[in-house]
Structure 1
Amino acid sequence: MAAAGVFAVGMMGTTLPTPLYGLYRLELGFSELIVTVVFAVYALGVISSLLVAGGFSDVVGRRPILFIALGLSTLSAVCFLFEAGLPLLYVGRVLSGFSAGLFSGTGTAAVLELAPRERSARAGFAATAANMGGLGLGPLVSGILAEYAPWPLKLPFIVHLALLAVAFAVTRLLPETVYRPSPLPPLRPQGMKIPPEVRGVFGACALTAFAGFSVLGLFTAVAPDFLARTLGEHNLAVVGAVVFSLFCASTSGQLLMARVGTRMALPLGCLILVVGLLLVGASLMLPSLPVLVVGAVIGGVGQGMAFRAGLTAVSFVAPDAHRGATISAFFVVAYVGISLPVVGVGALTQALGVADAGLVLAGCVILIVAGVGVHLWRRPPAAR
């Protein structure tokens, strides 16, 4: 679907810097804590965007918000292209976060609404796969370009700018799915707006997304440094491929969700995620690259299965007039999970080292996921 392609290109830009943090550290001389802070300001941008404008596309339409998101992504790529120190890195990451926040709710709603009714199940997979697939392509493409092509800190963003130009052209051709009243009502920040009929499903599903996204944050912010310092793996293409494997596995987990159903996929996804995290913890203690990759793949399957099931359950019960805002609230919780734990790991790294700090995060997430999984097993949400 064309809308899913636009969604994927937009999300791709948010993870392009992942294999490049080591190069930025050599160039600018900052610590692992600063790496996680640079990563986390992106999540703050996402959360701010979702809280302020999460429901705007329900009023002004999907296409105008998609255009704004693409524009912000373009500005972010330009910041990285011309970076000369930490200030532009911070600005670029914040702009990338604003873009991702708009894409998360609006892109998902657009993909779902543009699909024919008889393909609604496939549309749900297309939306979540575009999200995770785009996030996975970012580190893979930038890692390969940085390792085997010239201008390692420039070329990935030049390529992304070219893809964004195509995405702009495609978005112009997309039909609008939202009726826009004339004149438009005033746009006001809606914050965390969760309709009453959604709240019974929202809590456990959002907490599962929080835990799963904290795993994504661990890999995209800390795993490259762990690979280089502990395992001696300095090939940026390999670093990008390891992170890509996690997001590919997440996409596979989303596909499997359709076979087992939403009610079963939520607790089962939590169980699989726990197994993956145990293997990731084992890889940090050994240390072992193969075990890390296997843990990433298994954990990614569990994360994707639970994430898509949670998003499907929440979207299913959300009223049409507030679907974009409800989906945005779901992503707010998820992106809190991708930011706060990662900054904590960055701080712990100063005292414990990368491996032990990663073990602490893995242990905390295992406890959360196990608790939520038991709850969902006993009280599954009412969803298709």
Structure 2
Amino acid sequence: MLRNPSSVPPRPTAWRAVALAMFVCGWGGNQFTPLLLMYRRLGGYSALSVDAFLGAYVVGLVPGLLLAGPVSDRRGRRPVLVAGTAASAVASLVLCFGGGSAWPIYAGRLLTGVAVGIAMAVGTSWVKELSSGADRALPARRASLCQTAGFALGAGVAGALAQWGPWPMVTPYAVHVLLTAAVPVLLLRVPETRPPLRGAVSPRRGLLRALPADLRVPAPARRRFRLVVLPMAPWVFGSAGLAYAVMPQLVGFRVGDWGLAYATGLTVLTLGMGLAVQPVAKKLHAAARAGRAPVAAMTAMLAGTALCAANAVLLSAWLAAAAAAVLGAAYGIAVVSGLLEIQRMAGPDDPAGLTGVYYTLAYAGFLLPALLASLSAWLSYPVMLTAVAGAALLCLALVATGARVTAPAGTSG
């Protein structure tokens, strides 16, 4: 199979439109999180139900992450990301006009997950390809910063509108639709870095046959993947779930009518810390052949989960904020170092596929709040969060050992 070569070199700023698509999809993905308390109070949903809404988002993410990357490797980045960005706007329309009913919420969150999965798998790879000649770590930071900024601002604006604006179940989603409307048109002007393959008799059958290979970690990197990336990846969004889904529900009674604003503040604090530490993550990764950045990320994860376990007993709004800040720092270091590890491992023909695998593992951690809520009928939160901290300690030991006994994979072409 051959590619039609692209005759137009990408502009130095071409990556910005792709980053904007990642930003608006991230906005749509996380605007729902601070609204969990609103759905509990105004919609009458239980803690398990609102955590299940988060779970529907992850269910949509998995096919978006795992399928969009290989499809874009073969059919081109542009059509896949345009479709994902449009899906993000449609998801907000469903949530906007669903009237707070359960099934529209599930449908909107599922479609949102698909959109975010496409943005993360395809957008990350497209930004890297449009940033040719840049510092090796810069494309990963650009992609991560734009996505995290979307997560943070989407949550902050949506929470503020729901707390103080009119029509709290409508206005946040309407704002996102307006923000997203023009982005697919902007993407049409971005140079294609993966022209469609020629010579395939059946593109669909060829894709299905090649999918396992696209999602497979290259053999030289598998040991490091198992010992460093695999134990760390679920904590990327597991930390976020603890910080701004579990903590606000545990201490919400402490802040009374300000619960929605408080949950929004924790979300922005977590992701703001994640943004702030990403330059540090890059320096740690660049200076550390032994894998200092993953070890630093998991050390911060252990500290943050320990604070959550302590706060399950103390139920302090201030301690919850401290835990969110520490977990946000852990998130920022982990997401950048994980992306850099994956970009070094990926072959030249399947970067988006392996990026999708990484983000699928990362987002598995976002199921943690729903798991804890489902187990709360039998176990107390102090017991469960202590167990979570113990799991973080075990993963830290694995990552530290793996970083010491394996070498980073060579940089792919």
3-state SS of paired residue (2:70): coil
Preserved contact between residue 208 and residue 307 of structure 1 (Cα < 8 Å): no
TM-score scaled by length of structure 1? 0.92
Residues 1:8 and 2:23 aligned together? yes
Preserved contact between residue 87 and residue 111 of structure 2 (Cα < 8 Å): yes
Equivalent residue, structure 2, for 1:50: 65
Query: Which of 145, 148, 155 does residue 132 from structure 1 map onto?
Result: 148
Query: Which of 374, 381, 384 does residue 347 from structure 1 map onto?
Result: 374
Query: Which of 305, 308, 318 does residue 333 from structure 2 map onto?
Result: 305
Output the CA distance in 2 between the equivalents of 1:143 and 1:178: 38
**Structure 1: gaps (5+ residues):** none
Query: Which of 221, 229, 234 does residue 198 from structure 1 map onto?
Result: 221
Aligned length: 382
Preserved contact between residue 244 and residue 263 of structure 2 (Cα < 8 Å): no
Q: What pairs with 1:1-384 in structure 2 (closer than 5 Å)? A: 1-84=16-99, 85-182=101-198, 186-187=203-204, 188-189=207-208, 190=211, 192-203=215-226, 204-229=228-253, 231-232=255-256, 234-261=258-285, 263-339=291-367, 341-352=368-379, 355-356=381-382, 359-360=385-386, 362-383=388-409
Alpha carbons of 1:361 and 1:34: their partners in 2 closer, same or farther (altered >3 Å)?
A: farther
Superposition RMSD in Å: 2.2
The Cα offsets for residues 173-230 of structure 1, whole Å up to 9 and x where unpaired, read as 2211112223565133425433324323322213201123212122343333224235
Name which of structure 1's ranges 80-89 and 266-275 shifts more when overlaid on structure 2: 266-275
The one-letter code sitting in structure 2 at the alignment partner of 1:150 is: P
* Identity between Structure 1 and Structure 2 (%): 25
Output the CA distance in 2 between the equivalents of 1:366 and 1:41: 25
Alpha carbons of 1:223 and 1:183: their partners in 2 closer, same or farther (altered >3 Å)?
A: farther
The Cα offsets for residues 324-372 of structure 1, whole Å up to 9 and x where unpaired, read as 1011111111122222x2221111234456x437624632442343233
Q: Bigger radius of gyration, 1 or 2?
A: 2
The one-letter code sitting in structure 2 at the alignment partner of 1:117 is: G
Output the CA distance in 1 between the equivalents of 2:182 and 2:318: 37
TM superposition shift of 1:380: 4.8
Output the CA distance in 2 between the equivalents of 1:92 and 1:302: 29
Alpha carbons of 1:27 and 1:320: their partners in 2 closer, same or farther (altered >3 Å)?
A: same
Alpha carbons of 1:68 and 1:8: their partners in 2 closer, same or farther (altered >3 Å)?
A: same
Output the CA distance in 2 between the equivalents of 1:55 and 1:8: 22
- Bigger fraction of residues in helix: 1
**Structure 2: gaps (5+ residues):** 1-15
Q: Which runs of 4+ in 1 moved over 6 A?
A: none
3-state SS of paired residue (2:349): helix
Alpha carbons of 1:235 and 1:35: their partners in 2 closer, same or farther (altered >3 Å)?
A: closer
Output the CA distance in 2 between the equivalents of 1:237 and 1:26: 14
3-state SS of paired residue (1:56): helix
The Cα offsets for residues 88-131 of structure 1, whole Å up to 9 and x where unpaired, read as 00000110111111111101001111113134422221111122
